[in-house]
Copies of this chain bind each other. A is one copy, B any other.
């Protein structure tokens, strides 16, 4: 049973071995781990410890590990080790990973490495580097198993034997091309193995295939993979010439990144101008830049709330005590509103909620808001009445709670649909803007009710 490993214990053990300077034991210990485990261990080591350890990992395993590391750590580690070793490691990476690593380096550094790499590999990686890294061209690997449309099954099988031995090619699907490299079809190994060896590949290939274009952006790519659930999809250029293939593990990383961006955006952290990686680490002023815009919008919105409060200055002057219930109303309105926003934004993102079901969700959420609002309104009314011994104050606070919570669910449910139908990403703006809107509306309702019942409350 391959249990998930306990990183802290291992790091401690490695430190002990390093202290003992027992090279043989270190080599055995390190090479005993899966490369994905090593990639979990390395970030926890100090830079000098990493260097000491890295030299003792077999080169194949070291290259595998590099693939699993974060971009920053990849560049840092390769920059710190011997240039010759780094080149050898890079040449062992799949083309797309090599391009990613080199693309993250300074131009001078990546040129140095590209010059040291085998010519064919270097040329192919250079081509990948010409694509935008967020498009299919920048994500794909050019290492694809291709066969000519005229071949028989027998020829294809022996061709695969030769090609698979030469190159580090994944055998997901075999793509069928004409002489000019136009993509004509796809055939699975399963189909090949179960067909008569004399059949033409043309007769057993699937012609109606889902494919991606080199310029397709990563969010679209993720959507296509999520929908059709293939292991791999071919990537073609404008003329339908096969350029490469994207596999599900590339998409995995995209989906994780897209989800992170969706979550960040919903919390008012802008990922448009600042790369998502840089918000947690890297230049702190970029992090500040990502976080300030929506806070500023909130500031403006809350100044409107201040203005609303000021408008009822006379009421506030007459019964200052009403002010202490403001956080209660704002807090619960904000909370239930956030729940509604979250349900709609996430649902729209996964496809569980669609524009055509908008009305149903709005009705449902309104009922939820009314029900919970009534429940909480009654509780708050009773507590306030008991505490301040003023039934009217209790009624006003309770009724405000009911109206505020109901309004919050309606605003929180309606706004994402409205944004979506205007083709605006519902995650954007939803959180902070809706929270502020709820604050302003809730405050206006509360102060209005207080003003109406003023004589009774005083």
Considering the complex of A and B, which 8 residue pairs feature the smallest CB-CB distances, nearest first? A309-B324, A323-B323, A267-B342, A320-B320, A302-B328, A305-B327, A302-B331, A229-B249
A93 on interface, CB distance cutoff 8 Å: no
Asked whether A302 and B327 contact (CB < 8 A) given A295-B336, A295-B372, A339-B268, the answer is yes
A44 adjacent to B356 (CB under 8 Å): yes
Which residues does chain B contribute within 8 Å of A142, judged by CB atoms? Answer: none
Q: How far is the CA of A300 from the CA of B224 in the complex (A)?
A: 46
Q: A190-B171, A443-B327 are in contact. Are A431 and B338 (CB under 8 A)?
A: yes
Check A343–B443 contact: CB distance below 8 A.
no
A235 to nearest B CB, angstroms?
11
By secondary structure, the A interface counts as helix
Residue of B nearest to A380 (CB): B299
Q: How many residues of A contact B (CB 8 A)?
A: 115
- Residues of B contacting A443 in the complex (Cβ-Cβ under 8 angstroms): 327
The stretch of A84-92, A98-106, A124-132, A157-165 in contact with B is A157-165
Minimum CB–CB distance from A34 to chain B (whole Å) comes to 7
A75 within 8 A of B: no
- Residue-wise, chain A 301-316 has the 8 Å CB interface mask toward B (1 for contact) of 1110110011001001
The reply to whether A379 and B342 form a contact with Cβ atoms under 8 Å apart is no
- Is A453 in contact with chain B by the CB < 8 A criterion? no
Residues in chain B near residue A372, CB distance under 8 A:
288, 291-292, 295
With a cutoff of 8 Å between Cβ atoms, the chain B residues found around residue A287 in the complex are 364, 368
Instruction: Return chain B residues, CB-CB under 8 Å to A68.
Output: 229
Q: Is A321 an interface residue (CB 8 A)?
A: yes
Partner among B4, B171, B264, B288 whose Cβ is within 8 Å of the Cβ of A346: B264
CB distance from A315 to the nearest CB of B (A): 9
- Tell me, yes or no, whether A139 is within 8 Å of chain B by CB: no
Q: How far, in angstroms, from A325 to B350 measured CA to CA in the complex?
A: 39
Whether A309 and B323, one on each chain, are in contact in the complex, defined by CB atoms closer than 8 angstroms, is yes
- What are 6 A-B pairs with beta-carbon distances under 8 A? A2-B210, A267-B338, A267-B339, A279-B343, A316-B320, A334-B435
Asked if B305 and A316 make an inter-chain contact with CB atoms under 8 angstroms apart, the answer reads no
Q: Mark A227-240, 1 if CB is under 8 A from B, else 0.
A: 11101000000000
Q: How far is the CB of A66 from chain B (nearest CB, A)?
A: 14
